[in-house]
Structure formats: C-alpha cells, structure tokens
Amino acid sequence: VLTRQVCVKKRLAVLFHRQCRLFSTSSRARTIMPAWVIDKYGSNDVLRFTKNASFPVINYPNEVIVKVFAAGLNPLDVSMRGGYGAASLSMMRDPLSIKQSGSEFPLILGRDVSGVIMECGLDVKYFRERDEVWAAIPPWKQGSLAEFVVLSGNEVSHKPKSLSHTEAAAIPYVATTAWSALVNTGGIKKDNCAKKRILILGGSGGVGTFAIQMLKAWGAHVTVTCSQNAELFVRELGADHVVDYTAGPVEEPLSMLEKFDLILDNVGGGTEHWALDLLKPWTGAKYVTLVTPFLQNTDRLGIADGMMKTAATVSTKVIKHLVKGVHYRWGFFAPSGVALDEIREMVDAGQIRPVVEETFNFSQVPQAFEKVEKGHARGKTVVQISKGGDDFAAQL
C-alpha cells in the first residue's frame, strides 16, 4: 500500500509539472527571474528590485510566455502602486476569495509589453516561439517590469515590423483604451468616421495622442483641448482645431464651434456638466468619459456596495441626458489582440506613429515612475528591459 501511495504521488507530481511547464533557457528549468515588484501599496519607495521573482508558468493552454524587451508605463501604474482599484482587481484575480488578503504581492506593475514569444500553450494556433509581439496587459495580471510575462493568446498581437521594441511598447495600452472607448463604446468605425466632428478633451496625453492619429486616419475632423505649449505637438499629429485650456475656461470657445458627433473626455472633473451641451442632439451623438468613479467606489465601499453605487450613478446620468437627445457613456480599457492587429496595420502603413517622450533603463524604474507621476506628459515613458532586444529581433 505504501509503495502504491508513493507511485501515485510521483504520477501527480509529473502531471502537475506537465500542466505548469516552465520555459527553460538551458537544460535546467528556470524558477526565478529579475523584476521590479512592490510588497505593499505606497509611494515610490515601495518599488523593489529583485532577482528572485517567480518565473511565470503556463496554467492554461491558450497562454504564451513572452520575453520582455521593452515596457511602457502609464498613469495607471502610478495609481496602482498606491493601491488604486485594489478591491476590484483582487476580486478579478481571486473571484471565489480563496486566497488571503494581500495575496497579490509581490506585485509586478507595467501594462505595456513588446517582446518575443518564448513558449506557447498547447491550444495557441496563431503564434509560434520567437514571434515578435506586443500587448496591453490587464491590470489584474502580473505586469511587464520583469524579464518574462505570461499572457493569454487573445491579448497578444504580432508587433508592427516598422517599429523597434522600444517604440512598440509606447502604444498598446493607450491604443486599446482609445479603441475600446471610441469603437466599442462610441460606435466609431473606419467606415462611418469620415467627416464626423469629434472633440477630445485632454488631447496631449497617451490616449489623446493615439486617438487623434487614428481618427484622422479614418477621416474625422478632430478638435482638441490642451495647453498652449502642446498646441504645435497635437497639430503635428493631425488635430484640426486646438483650444488652449490655460487661456481660460474652454467651454466658452468650444460653444462657439459647430456641435460635435462624439466627445472623448480624458479630463473628468466638472467637464460633464457642460460638455454634453456641445453634442448634436437627436443624432445619436455620444459623450464617452474615461474618468469614472467605478474603482474608487469599490475601494471605498467594497465590491457589492461599490457596484450598486456605480450602477445607480451611471443609470441616472444616462437617463438624464437621453431625454436631451444625447448619449452618456463610460469608457474602459479592454485588452484585445484583435484591435492590436488592426492598429498594427495602421502603424505599418504610416498612419500612426509612436510618441515616446523619454526612455529609461531597467535599473531606472523608480526614476521612470517619478517622471510619469509629474504628469503633463507629451507622449509615453518607456523602460528598456533587455537592451539587446532589437538586435536580437534582427537576427530572427
């Protein structure tokens, strides 16, 4: 009986290791990797470099392991470092609440990745090892400030051939966020966008700079609000009309213009009190804001009460504006390899270019966070994880 129990244990161990197969760069399987992690929420001093972060494993047959060459930082990373969205993201990581509180630590931040696939799950059909890829990583997953990351195959797309890894890492998160807001929520498409009048509130940040380029490629007329020193910058990206918010309240100059078919709000605050009056009534015009209280509600009130509060808030606002003939919507980030496939074609066609403001080495991650935290960005902050990434890619 004892011998049989030992045999069963050995067979279970073999099955477990087959299911969670580790990628091996040598004859021995790796179990650790270098990464920047946080062990608690807080300010920049919670960032910690380690050479002993857990190596990612393939737990589902549709997953891939990516060797990270470059990672993009976003304001969301700074917010998550401080604990923003912790309640909702913990629920998404552990829906049945099996694990103890704080089980997300050590947590790896970073939502953008460009790199090379090193291992594929058994059900992955569209990618192979050594394929160059890019992706936007969902915030409930471990991020890209590490040597390797594991992702679902439907979150990944082949990287644009015209971009380096550093350039490519500046696009996925802002691109999929803008795509989700404009296409999925706003109903804007390549086929129906021509000559539509679109207003972007806060157009010089990551989402705004991408949205300007995509909408112009699709034939829209784009008006942007930004500071005076960013006006030339957004015009070079294609903006048709620019309103300087530092010159005074923007609602007055905007109200003098022809009304809009869609407004994308990256600013929030009190903008929704006047912005919906700028829409064309009874034409299906939409106001889509990316600044929502959803995660703040769940952090403050808990999951159940926070979701009830959120549902009551958004339904009240939808009905309030619907009777005026305009549509009020909340926009959210949504990971999508399919969207990145279409965006890759636009990049390689020269319709969209990456906007990289500053690049940092892997050892300079705390400085990169400080840069993002200052705000008023003119493009993305990118961290080079592997310096030889583009040289390696050239050899493929």
Domains delineated in the chain? 14-170+354-395 (3.90.180.10), 174-330 (3.40.50.720)
In angstroms, what CA-CA distances link 198 with 240, 243, 274, 347, 384? 10, 13, 16, 21, 35
Rounded Cα gap, residues 78 and 189, in angstroms? 32
What six digits make up the tokens of 395? 């050899």
Listed in sequence order, the DSSP H helices in the chain are 2-19, 75-81, 86-93, 165-168, 172-179, 206-217, 231-237, 251-255, 272-275, 294-301, 303-322, 337-348, 365-374, 389-395
What six digits make up the tokens of 199? 């207003």
What is the CA 87 to chain-centroid distance, rounded?
19
pLDDT at residue 263 in the model: 98
Pairing verdict, β 112-120 and 63-73: antiparallel
The per-residue b/e assignment along 230-245, b for 16 or more CB within 10 angstroms, e otherwise, is bbebbeebbbeebbeb
Regions in the chain scoring below 50 on pLDDT: 1-2, 4, 6-28, 391-396
pLDDT at residue 8 in the model: 46
Residue type, 132: E
Backbone dihedral region of 325: left (phi > 0), alpha (psi from -120 to 50 degrees) or beta? left
The per-residue b/e assignment along 27-66, b for 16 or more CB within 10 angstroms, e otherwise, is eeeeeebebbbbeebeeeebbeebeebebbbbeeebbbbb
Please state the φ and ψ torsions of residue 311, each to the nearest 5 degrees: -60, -40
Could you check whether the bond before residue 106 is cis, i.e. omega within 30 degrees of 0?
yes
What is the CA 217 to chain-centroid distance, rounded?
21
Instruction: Return the axis-axis angle of helices 172-179 and 337-348, rounded to nearest 10°.
Output: 110
pTM as predicted: 0.88
State the residue for tokens 């869609």. Answer: 262
- Among candidate residues 347, 323, 382, the one with its CA nearest the CA of residue 165: 382
Cβ-contact 385, 68 below 8 angstroms: yes
What six digits make up the tokens of 319? 């009905």
What six digits make up the tokens of 243? 């309103």
pLDDT in tens, 186-214: 999 999 999 999 999 999 999 999 999 99
Rounded Cα gap, residues 237 and 378, in angstroms? 12
What six digits make up the tokens of 371? 């840069």
**Max CA pair span of the chain:** 87
Rounded Cα gap, residues 285 and 278, in angstroms? 10
In angstroms, what CA-CA distances link 195 with 198, 204, 212, 217, 278? 9, 22, 14, 11, 17
pLDDT at residue 388 in the model: 54
pLDDT at residue 1 in the model: 47
